[in-house]
Structure 1
Amino acid sequence: MTSQDGGGPRLPQERRVVTEIPGPRSRELQERRTAAVPPGVGSVLPVYVADAGGGVVVDVDGNSLIDFGSGIAVTNVGNASPRVAARVKEQADRFTHTCFMVAPYESYVAVCENLNRITPGDHEKRSFLVNSGAEAVENAVKIARYATGRQAVVVFDHGYHGRTLLTMTLTAKSMPYKHGFGPYAPEVYRMPMAYPFRWPTGPGNCGPEAAAQAADMISKQIGAANVAAVVVEPIQGEGGFIDPAPGFLPAIAGFCRANGILLVADEVQTGFARTGDMFACEHEGIVPDIVATAKGIAGGLPLAAVTGRAEIMDRVHGGGLGGTYGGNPLACAAALAVLEEIEEGKLTERARRIGEVMLPRLRGLAGRYPAIGDVRGRGAMIAIELVRPGTKEPDAALTAEIARRCHARGLLVLTAGTYGNVLRFLPPLVIPEHLLNEGLDVLEAAFAA
């Protein structure tokens, strides 16, 4: 595997720590930020970026950090793909905005055509474009309610779907996403997730038992005939990279079909080659009625999409969908370049290779450090869950300490999980393999310390 950030690495692909992290320039900028930006807007690491590309992020002090975050699964094709940058510049030279709802343009249509082609299922589809993952999920629910004439929406424990009023309601975790922001939207119901590591009767029983429990609760507590949509992440993101037990998603999909409920796949974090398939639903052959996408779609430019069965999407009246910036021409140009990068660069295969490198080493690490209770994930969406040895009691303090030690040594890692005890790894799909292994060396050193 070599770094092909859209045609070859522009920056040296090396970890380089020349100051303490954060360094003096980053600390100066942090002081300015404190005076200008509210503290409610958090950052994983107060390191201010000057450059990035391939598998590294370079800060204003000259430190080069190995990137195991990808801007939270956004820069799948790298932070500085020449193809993406060139297409955006070319579009910016022509026009930056007209509003598709006022005067449309071809690139919006082309992005939708591609989404209709690559999302799961060979049925006729329609797509439209918005700005963020939360907006995509919210529109998916809106369309499902319109198409079915029903109101109830079912989601799952540990799920994360966004920060708007509705998507905050769909999200499971209170702090920091929901605390103090209520009241929440009505007609949202939460079901147990098939969480193999924490399922009471063990991972082998998890899939069928969780699906049966959800079906029973929906039928008894809500009434299946009242449910417009079941919204699910094929692998849960912020909730801790929970890969549902085998059989769970197919059973939920079957229940939806049998009861006229629309299945909405939230592929915001899992989409665009991240898991080793173009979309995570493909792993078990799930064909959703509606797919919400964002993050990896446009290489860092704000873009998201809703793709669904034509007969569902076409029901909404004219003017019922849209938004001023949705499908901005710069973002559309970036998205078309990203799709070319994924397909021509065989990035689904590269994601699988990242998993082949990382998972065995992480499992070896777990064998030496009992605090690692679980290693999980697919492709380049991988996590370890930390617990107090000999138990399944979450150890958020250790998780934060390991992350801090990684940051200090020049490895950018993210935390996640309902209990704050998960380290998640989302390297760019173009990361060179030597950086992947060096990042794992840094992680191992953090545990040894």
Structure 2
Amino acid sequence: MTNASANANLSTNQDYINLEDEVAAHNYSPLPVVVASAEGAWVTDVEGNHYLDALAGYSALNFGHRHPELIKAAKDQLDRATLTSRAFHNDMLGPFCRDLAQLVGKDMVLPMNSGAEAVETAIKLARKWGYRVKGVEADEAHIIVMENNFHGRTTTIVSFSNDPEARDDYGPYTPGFTSVPYGDLAAIEAAITDNTVAVLLEPIQGEMGVQIPKEGFLPGVRELCTERNLLMIADEIQSGLGRTGTTLACEYEGVEADVYTLGKALGGGIVPVSAVAANKDVMEVITPGTHGSTFGGNPLAAAVGHAVVKLLATGEFQQRAKELEPRFREHLESLIGKGVQEVRVRGLWAGIDIDPELMTGKEACKGMAKRGVLAKDTHGSTIRLAPPLSISAEDLEQIVQALEDTLEHARAAKG
């Protein structure tokens, strides 16, 4: 059966939604839009309606949909080799790792596939470093994490989540973690023991609605980790690779972590690519057979990832996010008191707290979709905006206008 004949009875958004509801697990609650094609900052649904993408795949599409240089890299590699496994070398992996390491200021890269895999890898790396280098007693390694974190959905990661939806009913949970309030240096210091090997944090908490720590927090964590011989692990999977106007969000305050986890945008929205980056004194505790991945570092992923690194090496995308930030912030802050309670912006990344008495975040996103803009809610009344870094200033204004019109309509309806 061809795709055409299989889809013969599917023509509307609702047709596809009904089919998906019947046969695909209900682990998401998406907006009622079925994307059929996309380019740049725009997507088109199966009915021919056009939308501005203000989410960019949770930053996986930092360079927009189907960026021509990234598509070319993928197509060229498809004609050569896609997978070798790490049982053999491939000619894409070395150049990719070399240039990614240089981009983020580290010696070595360990490639994986998903962001969660990168975080799991960083946890293993920190524990092994603790045993082999720091001298922590076997099976006693301890890692400090932040409340309201989001690092992925594997069993170990949800073990230190305090989000009931992510955590409940997945026990028994993995031990070895202490959670402290995000932004609280004193709490981190109080949680450190002789067995602590690392502090794991997001420089900006994306899933919590783009929560930006107070100035000085990240430098304070860096200082604590240096003083107490701990690894500072920065999860830059959402915040990194240009989103905040710098290559890494840590750079905003001049902080260098010991370990970075990278993902999402590293695959250019084409293939899943993630990586852990660290210096040799940390990374070389990983030896043959002690960690691996069949698909990690495959030639196709490495080719696309290398093309992403080349785009970032010019600084063009970081600069664009930095230049558009003031305009983005100004327009969003003008909505405070008009249905918006608070706005947080860093680069082209924004968290907007909607007045819960006016509407939920999901209702706001549905209203924006009716006005041609796709966004995502989180935690009740907060919405996130993360448009492609390639977006035009005019399209960026259209995103904010859609939110303003949605809020105005809701206020009018409430009288």
* TM-score, scaled to structure 1: 0.84
The answer (yes or no) to whether the contact 1:162–1:171 under 8 Å persists in 2 is no
Q: CA deviation at 1:30?
A: 1.2
The answer (yes or no) to whether the contact 2:100–2:306 under 8 Å persists in 1 is no
Partner of 1:181 in structure 2? Answer: 170
Among candidates 107, 113, 126, match of residue 108 of structure 2: 126
What runs of 5+ residues in structure 2 fail to find an aligned partner?
A: 1-9, 410-415
Structure 1 pair 117/97, CA: closer, same or farther in 2 (3 Å)? same
Amino acid at match of 1:304: S
The answer (yes or no) to whether the contact 1:77–1:342 under 8 Å persists in 2 is no
Among candidates 325, 329, 339, match of residue 355 of structure 1: 325
Q: Distance in 2 between matches of 1:341 and 1:115?
A: 11
Partner of 2:96 in structure 1? Answer: 111
* TM-score, scaled to structure 2: 0.91
Among candidates 258, 274, 279, match of residue 304 of structure 1: 274
Q: CA deviation at 1:119?
A: 1.1
The answer (yes or no) to whether the contact 2:361–2:381 under 8 Å persists in 1 is yes
Q: Residues 71-110 of structure 1: matches in 2 within 5 Å?
A: 71-99=57-85, 101-110=86-95
Q: Distance in 2 between matches of 1:441 and 1:341?
A: 30
Structure 1 pair 315/343, CA: closer, same or farther in 2 (3 Å)? closer
Q: Distance in 2 between matches of 1:345 and 1:125?
A: 20
1:434 lines up with 2:394 in the alignment? yes
For this pair of structures, how many residues does the alignment match? 391
SS in 1 for 2:333: helix
1:212 lines up with 2:189 in the alignment? no
Q: CA deviation at 1:131?
A: 0.5
Q: Distance in 1 between matches of 2:43 and 2:263?
A: 22
Q: CA deviation at 1:264?
A: 0.4
The answer (yes or no) to whether the contact 2:356–2:381 under 8 Å persists in 1 is no
Q: CA deviation at 1:373?
A: 2.2
Q: CA deviation at 1:182?
A: 1.5
Among candidates 306, 322, 325, match of residue 295 of structure 2: 325
Partner of 1:5 in structure 2? Answer: none
Partner of 2:6 in structure 1? Answer: none
Among candidates 283, 286, 290, match of residue 313 of structure 1: 283
1:144 lines up with 2:126 in the alignment? yes
Partner of 1:403 in structure 2? Answer: 365
Amino acid at match of 2:45: D
The answer (yes or no) to whether the contact 1:68–1:427 under 8 Å persists in 2 is yes
Structure 1 pair 289/91, CA: closer, same or farther in 2 (3 Å)? same
Among candidates 139, 142, 147, match of residue 157 of structure 1: 147
Q: Distance in 1 between matches of 2:108 and 2:175?
A: 28
Partner of 2:222 in structure 1? Answer: 253
1:29 lines up with 2:16 in the alignment? yes
Structure 1 pair 443/24, CA: closer, same or farther in 2 (3 Å)? farther
Q: CA deviation at 1:428?
A: 0.2
Q: CA deviation at 1:24?
A: 5.8
Give me the CA root mean square deviation. Answer: 1.7
The answer (yes or no) to whether the contact 2:114–2:272 under 8 Å persists in 1 is yes
1:443 lines up with 2:403 in the alignment? yes
Q: Distance in 2 between matches of 1:432 and 1:323?
A: 39
Partner of 2:380 in structure 1? Answer: 420
Q: CA deviation at 1:89?
A: 0.8
Among candidates 57, 65, 72, match of residue 43 of structure 2: 57
Q: Distance in 2 between matches of 1:445 and 1:166?
A: 42
Q: Distance in 1 between matches of 2:54 and 2:324?
A: 11
Q: Distance in 2 between matches of 1:28 and 1:62?
A: 14
Q: Residues 4-15 of structure 1: matches in 2 within 5 Å?
A: none
Q: Distance in 1 between matches of 2:355 and 2:169?
A: 29
Partner of 1:365 in structure 2? Answer: 335
The answer (yes or no) to whether the contact 1:355–1:382 under 8 Å persists in 2 is no
The percentage of aligned residue pairs carrying the same residue is: 31
Q: Distance in 2 between matches of 1:269 and 1:32?
A: 31
Partner of 1:267 in structure 2? Answer: 236
Q: Residues 313-350 of structure 1: CA distance to partner in whole angstroms, max 9, x if unpaired?
A: 11223221220000221121111212222334700011
The answer (yes or no) to whether the contact 1:54–1:432 under 8 Å persists in 2 is no
SS in 2 for 1:365: coil
Structure 1 pair 107/43, CA: closer, same or farther in 2 (3 Å)? farther
Q: Residues 183-202 of structure 1: matches in 2 within 5 Å?
A: 183-194=172-183
